[in-house]
Amino acid sequence: MSNTITTTQFNFPGQKSVYRGKVREVYTINDDILIMIATDRLSAFDVVMPKGIPYKGQILNQIATRFMDLTKDIVPNWLIATPDPNVAVGHLCTPFKVEMVIRGYLSGHAAREYALGKRMLCGVELPEGMKENDKFPQPIITPTTKADNGEHDMDISREEILARGIVSEENYIILENYTHALYQRGTNIAAGRGLILVDTKYEFGKTRDEKIVLIDEIHTPDSSRYFYADGYQERQASGETQKQLSKEFVRQWLIANDFQGKEGQSIPDMSQEYIESVSERYIELYENILGEPFVKADISDIHQRIEQNVLEYLK
């Protein structure tokens, strides 16, 4: 796709370094601020797919920055400005080496582990007798390690995080409290849109003055799973698959095509038709999650557009 952005080679004034994540590319400016560019890369099972998805980066960036604004009263965050539809500018932070995953329902990875007979996930005991997509009595936090490039995130328990000194107990309690507060706010917002926020993950970091803040993305379809609330109970009662808004549809397509990111497996080819259908699903996600029409940015030359907008901001 000539009109997607899958990699960047910018050289901004004051640029010190570039970090390339699975989806985002982060430019450090003057050891002070970060320019975070949401690309159109698609990642599943911790593997980046070969082709980009039109408008995906814009969708992720705009959902994440909107939810940063909607939650800043309960949790401070890293965001300063959004000079381009694909770009967020924020404070340079030192990330905690864990991702705080919170689950309200037995879905996705948790459901797959449960189906294998496991009743302990990240040190949390799971009730017997649950069906996939059943609601937990209370939301549970199932952290993962924050993987470096090319590595898989790994499940880890609260006890192991503290024992290994990955996060201090004092800080971890703050992360837990923030995670529950953010999930509750996200749940309430989703309910107002006729959705259920099934599970999600949050990342946190420390600013130079040691303040803990929310970083990266929040409540996007890449970091979260949503169900349609209408008909949820009926579908559970009849054993039907839940209607969902998340990246899970991509994972299920990959599983059906014999790919789960395991050694020796090959990524199946994504046809142009399939790529366009994924783009349409992401637009559907945006409009349902934010409750407003998606306005497509000009992607005739997306690299030039981003560069001009960031340079104008840095002036």
pLDDT digits (tens, 9 = 90+) for 204-218: 999 999 999 999 899
Q: Can you give the pLDDT at residue 10?
A: 96
Average pLDDT over residues 49-62: 93
Domain spans of the chain?
A: 15-93+274-314, 95-246
| Residue 246 CB neighbour total at 10 angstroms | 22
Position 244 scores a pLDDT of: 82
Superfamily of domain 95-246: ATP-grasp fold, B domain (3.30.470.20)
What pLDDT shows up at residue 2? 55
pLDDT tens figures, 244-266: 877 778 888 899 999 998 988 99
CA–CA separation, 237 and 134 (whole Å):
10
Decide if 200 contacts 219 (C-beta within 8 A).
yes
Residue burial 45-63, b: 16+ Cβ < 10 Å; e: rest = eebbbebbbbbbbbbbbbb
Strands (E) across the chain are located at: 15-20, 24-29, 33-38, 43-44, 47-48, 79-84, 87-91, 94-95, 98-105, 120-121, 124-125, 135-141, 144-145, 195-206, 212-215, 224-228, 244-246
The domain 15-93+274-314 is placed in CATH, from the list 3.20.20.10, 2.160.10.10, 3.20.20.210, 3.30.200.20, at: 3.30.200.20
Q: Which tens digit of pLDDT belongs to each residue from 106-163?
A: 999 999 999 999 999 999 999 999 999 999 999 999 999 986 655 567 999 999 999 9
Q: How confident is the model at residue 236 (pLDDT cuts 50, 70, 90)?
A: very high
Q: Please state the separation of Cα 45 from the chain's center in Å.
A: 13
Cα separation of 143 and 166, whole Å? Answer: 12
Q: Which of 40, 27, 148 is nearest to 99 (CA)?
A: 148
CA atoms within 13 A on the CB side of 225: 20
Does 277 score more than 60 pLDDT? yes
Which helix (DSSP H) or strand (DSSP E) does residue 277 occupy?
helix 272-290
Residue 251: CB atoms within 10 A of its CB come to 17
Residues in the chain: 315
Q: Which of 99, 214, 216, 218 is nearest to 152 (CA)?
A: 99
Rounded Cα–Cα distance for residues 242 and 236 (Å): 8
> How many Å apart are CA 56 and CA 42, to the nearest integer?
8
* pLDDT score of 147: 66
Q: 159-195, pLDDT tens digit by residue?
A: 999 999 999 999 999 999 999 999 999 999 999 999 9
